[in-house]
């Protein structure tokens, strides 16, 4: 004769405590998965106030199903909204206009030696001359006389 596994009905306050604990534990782990299981247990706790479950297995199953549905439907959307920056920040300090110096047939600009752009004739610049660096890209500097 097969035996049935029956779990006694879990008190809604315990379900609520499990849900809150999972949500709080999410702050430590930061996986953005446990929060959905926490919400599932909290929702199941509220359902347990209204509907009397036959045993605890159904309560855990309900919490798991709600959690998985929320996880699959909402995780990606909520993550995108949290990770999305309100403004676009481009912080390329090397690609700014500035003053450089010719040294060893290269441009010393922001403590880095850059090759002079091949479109520019190197011979018109002399050693130690200060130049205006218009742009830097792929180890090349676009310069002009100051």
Given this model, what pLDDT does residue 15 score?
A: 96
> Over the chain, what is the mean pLDDT?
85
Please provide residue 118's backbone torsions phi and psi, each rounded to the nearest 5 degrees.
-65, -15
Structure tokens at 40: 């599932």
**Distance (Å, whole) CA 14 – CA 32:** 22
Close Cβ partners of 10 (under 8 Å, ≥ 6 residues apart): 48, 56, 59, 60
Residue 87 has pLDDT above 70, yes or no: yes
For residues 21-36, give the mean pLDDT.
92
pLDDT in tens, 97-123: 788 888 887 888 887 888 887 777 777
Residue 133 has pLDDT above 60, yes or no: yes
Which domains are seen in the chain, by residue range? Answer: 12-83 (no CATH), 93-145 (2.40.50)
Asked whether the whole model's pTM tops 0.85, one would answer: no
Given this model, what pLDDT does residue 93 score?
A: 60
Given this model, what pLDDT does residue 50 score?
A: 94
Q: Where are the alpha helices (DSSP H) in the chain?
A: 12-29, 34-50, 56-83
Residue 73 has pLDDT above 90, yes or no: yes
């Amino acid at each position: 004769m097969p035996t049935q596994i029956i779990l006694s009905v879990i008190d809604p306050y315990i379900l609520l405590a499990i849900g809150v604990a999972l949500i709080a534990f999410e702050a430590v782990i930061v996986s953005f998965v446990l929060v959905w299981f926490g919400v599932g247990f909290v929702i199941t706790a509220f359902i347990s106030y209204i509907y009397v479950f036959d045993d605890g297995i159904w309560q855990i199953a309900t919490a798991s199903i709600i959690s998985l549905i929320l996880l699959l439907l909402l995780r990606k959307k909520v993550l995108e909204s949290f990770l999305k920056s309100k403004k676009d920040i481009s912080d390329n300090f090397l690609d700014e206009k500035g003053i450089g110096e010719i040294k060893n047939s290269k441009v010393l600009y922001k403590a880095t030696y850059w090759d002079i752009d091949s479109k520019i004739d190197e011979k018109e610049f002399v050693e130690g001359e200060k130049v205006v660096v218009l742009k830097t890209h792929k180890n090349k500097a676009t310069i002009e006389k100051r």
